[in-house]
A and B are shown apart, each in its own frame.
Chain A
Amino acid sequence: MSKNVIIGVLVVALAVAGFIGFQQNEDKTVYRTQLENTYQYNFQALLTTVKNIETNMSKAMISSSDSMSIELLSDVWRQSDLAQNYLSRLPLGHRVLKDTETFLNKLSNFSYAMAKINMNGKKLNDDQQADLERLKNSSTYLLQQLNTMNEQIQQGEVKFSSDDINQAREQLDEASDNLVTKGFTAVDKEMVDYPKLIYDGPFSDHIEDIKPKGLKGDKVTKEDGEEKVKEFMGDEIESIESSEKSEGVITTFMYNLNLKDKEENGYIEISENGGNVLKFMKNRLPDEQKISMEEAQKKADDYLKEIGYVDMVNTYHEKYSNTGVFNYAYSQDDVVVYADLIKIQIALDDGEVLGLEAQGFHMAHHNRKIEEAEITLEDAKENLSTRLEVTSERLALIPTEFETEVLCYEFKGTYKNEMYIIYVNAKTGKEQQILKIIEGDESVLTL
Chain B
Amino acid sequence: MIIKNKKRYILFLTIMFVMIMFLTTFENAVFAQERVIYYGSDPDAVGKVQRNLKDWGYYDYNIDGHFGWRTEEAVKSFQRKHGLTPDGVCGSKTLEALGLSNLISSPAKKTTNRTQTAGGTRSEAYLLAQCINGEARGEPYEGQVAVAAVILNRVKNASFPNSISGVIYQPGAFDAVSDGQIYLEPRQSSIKAANDAMAGWDPSGGAIYYYNPVTSTNQWILSRPIINRIGKHVFCK
Contact = CB atoms under 8 A, between A and B. Distances in A.
Interface of A: 81, 84-85, 88-95, 98-99, 101-102, 105-106, 109, 169, 172-173, 202-203, 244-250, 252, 254, 256, 265, 267, 269, 279, 281, 283, 285, 289-295, 318-321, 323, 325, 341, 343, 345, 355, 357, 359-360, 438, 440-443
Interface string B55-72: 000000001110000000
Contacts of A245: 228
Interface in B106-154: 106, 117, 119-122, 125, 140-142, 145
A172 B170 CA distance: 14
Contact of B120 (A249, A292, A440): A440
17 contacts: A88-B166, A89-B171, A172-B172, A202-B156, A247-B205, A254-B203, A267-B203, A281-B145, A289-B42, A289-B43, A292-B43, A321-B195, A343-B201, A345-B196, A357-B199, A438-B120, A440-B121
Interface stretch (B16-24, B76-84, B185-193): B185-193
Given A281-B141, A285-B188, A294-B65, 14 more contacts: A85-B166, A88-B170, A93-B172, A102-B159, A247-B226, A247-B228, A249-B206, A250-B205, A267-B142, A279-B201, A289-B43, A319-B44, A321-B188, A343-B201
B91 interface: no
A355 B145 CA distance: 12
A248 B227 contact: yes
Given A93-B172, A98-B159, A343-B199, A283 B140 contact: yes
Contacts of A321: 117, 188, 191-192, 195
A441 B103 contact: yes
Given A248-B237, A289-B43, A105 B162 contact: yes
Q: Across chains A and B, which 4 residue pairs bring their CB atoms closest together, nearest first?
A: A248-B205, A292-B65, A246-B228, A283-B141
B231 to A, nearest CB: 10
B175 to A, nearest CB: 11
B160 A320 contact: no
Interface of B: 42-44, 46-47, 63-65, 102-103, 106, 117, 119-122, 125, 140-142, 145, 156, 158-162, 166, 170-173, 188-189, 191-192, 195-196, 199-207, 218, 220, 225-230, 235, 237
B208 to A, nearest CB: 10
A37 to B, nearest CB: 15
Contacts of B102: 441
B170 A105 contact: no
Nearest to B154: A94
Contacts of A295: 43, 65
Contacts of B141: 267, 281, 283
B192 A323 contact: yes
Contacts of B43: 289-293, 295
A359 B202 contact: yes
B228 A254 contact: yes
B142 A283 contact: yes
Contacts of B44: 289, 292-293, 319
Nearest to B120: A440
Contacts of B125: 320
Nearest to A289: B42
Contacts of A290: 43
A429 to B, nearest CB: 31
A103 to B, nearest CB: 9
Contacts of B64: 292
B158 A102 contact: yes
